[in-house]
Amino acid sequence: MSLEPQELDDLTSKIGRKPTPTELQIVAAEWSEHCSYKSSKIHLKMLPMKGPLVISEKGYDSGVLDVGDGYVITAHIESHNHPSAVEPYGGAATGVGGVIRDILSTGTRPIAILDGLRFGDIEKDLQARWLFKNAVTGIADYGNCLGIPTIGGEVEFDECYSNYALVDVAAIGFGKKKDLIKNHANRGDLVVLLGGSTGRDGIGGSQFASDSLESEDRSAVQIPDPFIEKLIIETILEARNQNLINAMKDLGGGGLSCAVSETADALSIGIEMDVDKVHTRESDMSPDEIMVSESQERMLIITNNEKLKKLEKICNKFHVKCSVIGHVTSDSMMHVKKGKKTCANLPTTVVANAHLLDRPSKKPSYLENIEQEKKLSPISNYSKMMMRLLSSPNIASKIWIYGQYDHEVGIRTVIKPGKDASVLRLDNGKFLAAKIDGNPKHCYINPREGAIGCFEEACRNVVCTGAKPIGMLDHLQFGNPENPEIFWTFLESLKGLTDFAKYFEIPCVGGKVSLYNETPSGPIKPTPLIGILGLIEKKPLHSQKITSGDYLVIIGETKNELGGSEYFEYIHKFVGGKCPIVNFKESKTNMNAVLDVIGKDFLKAVHDCSKGGLAVAVSELCMINQIGCDVSLEKVPGPKLDADRTLFSESHSRYLVVLDKKNLKKLEEYLRKNKVSYNLIGQFGGENIRFSSGHKPIIDLRVDKAQKTWFNSLKELVHG
């Protein structure tokens, strides 16, 4: 809750005097890792952030992409890990609320939510199960009440998250380019705080999130109120329509301290404010508490005298409170008063710009021998083993989760959750595909290649719907950056993402870094999470019903890459081996080929091949369509491997393509001409999922039994 000794010296020398207690609180909040990105900022610059579709404006908390015809989409990603680990319901719910306000602050209407959740081993760990269940309910209750559809996401369970939780929320907004708020302020403009009252909840939240999780400081967790958030959304959008907002920022980590200092710094202005003018939940709050409270559902707005009346009228209509708390000055100072008494008077550049660190890094010693494989114990019955894999929490259907989220509201959801990526229709006749992906098991073994793999997987997922990736969101989650070995894994992941983004010319439009994700039992595995937005100009690929006789073609090579696979980790309890590596050239060839072929409009379905490998990907197609399939493993392209390796390798850049027999020639002609590695590996029909190698059956499952297990196991696990 306080500054490091050298930071205090730094502050004292910069302002030339001893800081006041309120100043210390303000600066401690703003200079926390959570708000200042002091460990990561100098490195994040390596990511490409510009592109032909990217629109950047001063002080935006979310990325903006031009989708043509006068429309834009906005996107951002946030996490709420520490709060969710101690109070999963409120932590997860307020995580949704925060990122929604980031979307709103650009003047766009939030139209979709995606969430990435990670917990300990819910099969054994009751605490993990409790966290999981309540985080899902928290997200559902918040998003559903707002009427913003939760259209997708991912969930993963791994022992590295025991007694902890990662709750990542991405949000997407949509609006007219002309309605974007062009943040600006003039001397004398009014500073307005709009929304919920400021209370004692979430005090010190950003510092709490900037340290390892050792105590359960529930008072640092914010209390969710989706009803007020919904009213704020409508109030702001109505005010935007009447052009009443000059500049706007959401109140998140660090509360008023961060919102005021960052707004002033971004717009090169000063702000003078009075804490007595802030509408509070309790009457006896101190200036320090008011400045660092992280009470939710609040927005900071800069407007002027003339517009204020109209803004107040809209606030009255929705019964949303708004208080004029100060005004804009030209001295670049953040001047906080209580009545006439000055509590803080600091240069905004000092507050908003913490001293950035260049932390040392060192390759972790655990990586020395991680790629060496141990001898695996033989599997006597692969069919039985496969059933166990289909029921495992990481592979099982996530319908228990997305069935609790309203994914239809807003009537844009063209491709619903449960597919490779969800797709929304936009008002200009185009479509937006979105997906988030992470893979800590791969990233633990190889932080660079694992991170690239997450990026490619998210791209593959949107490509399966016919969408071209146009923007990326990254969320980099690691342990304590003061540990050089952890910091090395952060840098490696970031470098990998940068290389892939540059090669594919996919700009990073938003991101977040979350460090200190540790509990007394240790740090989490490196967990970069990548969100991809894809644009579809004409129409998305709707999966058609697979019927008997349809062909199954695989694009891409299956390699001996089982490190971090579900097969090694869940079945063999082995952490190690070589994790999948993306070959950039092959990746681009395959991605472009799939997009081209989808455009020719003769495919029935395209499905990404990832977690659980070919065996799980084929089974998913069968279970969703309730049809069997015969697959010949020796036909799978790539180096010659043992049958289990072909089945469960998690090599990237692979796509399963389903098509009517009669269209095979067309597909082959195209793929051959473009030098794409592919093969016809199977045919649908019957009631069994069969994998054989040289006519020797390896796996033989009844579809209906597999489907029942896959579909129900997560629900049964949670409800007991």
Partner 1 sequence: MKVGIIVFPGSNCDRDMYHVLTDVFKLKAEYFWHEKGLPKNIDAIILPGGFSYGDRLRSGAIAAHSPIINDVRKMAEKGIPILGVCNGFQILVEAGLLPGALLKNTSLNFMCKWTNLIVENNKTPFTNKLKLHQKIPIPIANGEGRYYVDDDTLKKLKRTNQIVFRYSEVVNGSTDRIAGVCNEDGNVVGMMPHPERATESEINPIDNKPSSLIFESLIKTIGVKN
Residues engaged in binding partner 1 (CB under 8 A): 137, 140-141, 144-147, 225-227, 230-231, 317-319, 402-414, 416, 425, 542
Beta bridge partners of 245: none
Active-site entry in 34, 43, 327, 572: 34
Q: How many residues does the chain have?
A: 720
Kindly state the smallest distance separating residue 422's Cβ from partner 1, in Å. Answer: 12
Q: Are 272 and 335 in contact (CB under 8 A)?
A: yes
User: Which CB sits closer to partner 1, 429 or 522?
Assistant: 429
User: Which CB sits closer to partner 1, 226 or 526?
Assistant: 226
572 is catalytic: no
Query: Any residues with CB less than 8 A from the CB of 124 and at least 6 apart, and which?
Result: none
- For residue 14 the two structure tokens come to 């910069």
Query: Any residues with CB less than 8 A from the CB of 88 and at least 6 apart, and which?
Result: 130, 131, 132, 133, 134, 135, 138, 165, 167
Kindly tell me the burial class for residue 345, based on how many C-beta atoms sit within 10 Å of its own C-beta (0-12, 13-18, 19 or more): middle
Helices (H), 430-575: 440-445, 447-463, 484-504, 566
Instruction: Provide DSSP, 387-430.
Output: HHHHHSTTTS--HHHHTTS--STTS-EEE-TTSSSEEEE-TTS-
Kindly state the smallest distance separating residue 113's Cβ from partner 1, in Å. Answer: 13
Give SS3 for 616: helix
Kindly state the smallest distance separating residue 145's Cβ from partner 1, in Å. Answer: 4
> According to the 3-state scheme, what is the secondary structure of 503-517?
HHCCCEEEEEEECCC
Dist. CA 391–CA 381, nearest whole Å: 16
User: Which CB sits closer to partner 1, 424 or 530?
Assistant: 424
Kindly state the smallest distance separating residue 537's Cβ from partner 1, in Å. Answer: 16
User: Which CB sits closer to partner 1, 116 or 138?
Assistant: 138
Give SS3 for 653: coil
Active-site entry in 43, 76, 80, 572: 80
Kindly state the smallest distance separating residue 228's Cβ from partner 1, in Å. Answer: 8
User: Which CB sits closer to partner 1, 405 or 570?
Assistant: 405
Kindly state the smallest distance separating residue 221's Cβ from partner 1, in Å. Answer: 20
Kindly state the smallest distance separating residue 53's Cβ from partner 1, in Å. Answer: 24
Q: Which residue has the tokens 């000063």?
A: 270
Q: Are 346 and 27 in contact (CB under 8 A)?
A: yes
User: Which CB sits closer to partner 1, 259 or 536?
Assistant: 536
652 is catalytic: no
Query: Any residues with CB less than 8 A from the CB of 577 and at least 6 apart, and which?
Result: 370, 371, 372, 373, 445, 562, 563, 564, 565, 568
Q: Are 274 and 339 in contact (CB under 8 A)?
A: yes
Kindly state the smallest distance separating residue 141's Cβ from partner 1, in Å. Answer: 8
Dist. CA 409–CA 111, nearest whole Å: 9
User: Which CB sits closer to partner 1, 45 or 719?
Assistant: 719
HSE, CB side, 13 Å, CA atoms: give it for residue 345: 9
Dist. CA 172–CA 62, nearest whole Å: 9
User: Which CB sits closer to partner 1, 635 or 715?
Assistant: 715
Kindly state the smallest distance separating residue 124's Cβ from partner 1, in Å. Answer: 24
User: Which CB sits closer to partner 1, 403 or 522?
Assistant: 403
Query: Any residues with CB less than 8 A from the CB of 70 and at least 6 apart, and which?
Result: 176, 177, 178, 428
Dist. CA 126–CA 306, nearest whole Å: 57
User: Which CB sits closer to partner 1, 34 or 425?
Assistant: 425
- Closest CA relative to residue 251, chosen from 191, 310, 312, 211: 191
Could you tell me how far CA 638 lies from the centroid of its own chain? 32
Query: Any residues with CB less than 8 A from the CB of 366 and at least 6 apart, and which?
Result: none
Dist. CA 439–CA 306, nearest whole Å: 52
Kindly state the smallest distance separating residue 312's Cβ from partner 1, in Å. Answer: 16
User: Which CB sits closer to partner 1, 33 or 225?
Assistant: 225
User: Which CB sits closer to partner 1, 393 or 496?
Assistant: 393
User: Which CB sits closer to partner 1, 407 or 475?
Assistant: 407
- Closest CA relative to residue 710, chosen from 501, 423, 398, 353: 398
Burial call 386-425: b when 16+ CB within 10 Å, e when fewer: bbebbbbbbbbbbebbbebbbbebbebbbbebbbbbbbbb
Kindly state the smallest distance separating residue 552's Cβ from partner 1, in Å. Answer: 23
Kindly state the smallest distance separating residue 546's Cβ from partner 1, in Å. Answer: 15
Query: Any residues with CB less than 8 A from the CB of 537 and at least 6 apart, and which?
Result: 430
Kindly state the smallest distance separating residue 97's Cβ from partner 1, in Å. Answer: 13
Q: Are 431 and 423 in contact (CB under 8 A)?
A: yes
End-to-end CA distance of the chain: 41
- Closest CA relative to residue 71, chosen from 430, 572, 565, 552: 430
Q: Is 661 left (phi over 0), alpha (psi -120 to 50) or beta?
A: alpha
Catalytically active residues, by annotation:
34, 80
